[in-house]
Structure 1
Amino acid sequence: MWPLLYAALVFQVARCTDMPLFETRAHDPGETLTLTCPRSVKTTDISTFHWIRVLSGSYPEFLGATFSFEYEGVNKTPHTTTKQGVGTFDLIIHQLSLTDTGFYYCVKVEDLEMELVFGIFLIIKDPASAVRVESPDLSGPVDSGDSVDLQCWVQMENAQCFEEHMVWWFRSGLDQSGPGLVYTQRNSSAQCDRSTEDPGPHKCLYTFSKTMSPSDAGTYRCAVAACGHIIFGNGTKV
């Protein structure tokens, strides 16, 4: 009932008022974010402002309210705080997490009428998306005794992932048996285009050289552990 009622109210507001301010913003996990809603200050205005959050798969959530006039009340939970600023009604989200992705609305209520003042679609970036793994396709037959260089390109958007990452090499046999670990490589600045102190994106090339025998045939795949995730590259069949 709540989601349908709220959707109906927002729909009516959108039809009866000017287009409200609406944004789409993306932020990293762990940040503290302040969302600001304009608050009209009039001595004759006794309206109230409300912050409401709608997350995927959840009921709309009331986060806090205030008056249009100066008011020192604060609504606080371990994760969010709502309070007045100078001419604003602010929502502060502490330690952003992936579950904070959703719609946030600031609503003004006056004389039983609702006005959508500000809306935002907030996207919290998945740390896994900051890491990309690619293996050049070197698939093809080789002779026993030949040395094969398997390559794995790793690109990372932030220094934290770069400092913590590790590269693993797995092989799946021709009989489609489960992958087995064959080699581990720790991160090395010598294999990357930037130093560990550089905060920009890093691109690193890891090479695994192996002298092949008939028992080594199979599909080789690199995997990168970074930022609490494991990301697999595409496989190379040898």
Structure 2
Amino acid sequence: MTSLRLVFFHLTCLFLGIMAQAAALKLSSSVQPDGGLLSLKTGDNLTLTCFYNVDVAARLYWYKQPLGQKLQLITTFFYFDTNGTFYGEFKNNPRFTLGKGHGKYHLKISDLRVLDSATYHCIHYINSLEISESITVSVTGSAWVHQSVLEIIQLGDSVTLNCTVHTGTCDGEHSVYWFKRSQESHPGLIYTHGGRNDQCERKDNTQTHTCVYNLPMKSLNLSHAGTYYCAVASCGHILFGNGTKLDFQDKVDSPVLLYFLSGALTFTTILVVLLTLSVFKMRKRNSYGSAGN
């Protein structure tokens, strides 16, 4: 139970980090991020950018943080350095290089692999450590997750959200998690399928292994509005779907309602004008009658 809660905690932290990093994301790669999560395929090349103030003598660091693990120091760079220094498994690794220039401290990763999936932090130190850039990278082989983009619903309806997972040659157990993001609440884990694999099948004459997971919801109300993300733990890495947005539609067609309200307003205005004229005429007649007496 403790290990399961730990997985939930790490997944929730990862999801929150993805959403929080969307606004701060800067990339020079031709592949663009989707909702704050950068998804790439094995073999791709990636450049993570980091900029610094050239007028300040600062020390800069690139760190890698795989899901559920500690920070791993990749490289350091000082204002007066010319090359930078790599550490540990990244030292003398030709896949990791630095793109340096006037105010630039970019980390370049070539020939991406699944084990490169992690959150990368560019940190600078002047008087204290501060994170300059952060980006979560998910590297997959032939695996990918598909979700429908939008579901239009009405109050009281029921809906079933689908998450289709294509895992290529990977036949391992899948743990499926659902996250919800809305304007009224912070993103959070709402449901998990555990390790169920009973909805999976392999297509004939192909290496594609496909699984479909459902999230049924009944008696929908306004609190259900938001975007639902499917996350799949498969073959040692996490795959995120693009999210399905639940949006409510009024049961009364809005143009019809608009015409009805406009007609009611017009009728009320005419009625008020007629009543005003009638009262004015009655007062005028009464004033003439009083003058004649």
Q: Same fold (TM over 0.5)?
A: no
Flag the structure with larger Rg.
2
Structure number with the higher strand fraction is: 1
TM-score range, shorter chain: 0.3 to 0.5
Q: Which has the higher contact order (CA 8 A, sep 6+)?
A: 1
Scaled by the length of structure 2, the TM-score of the pair is 0.37
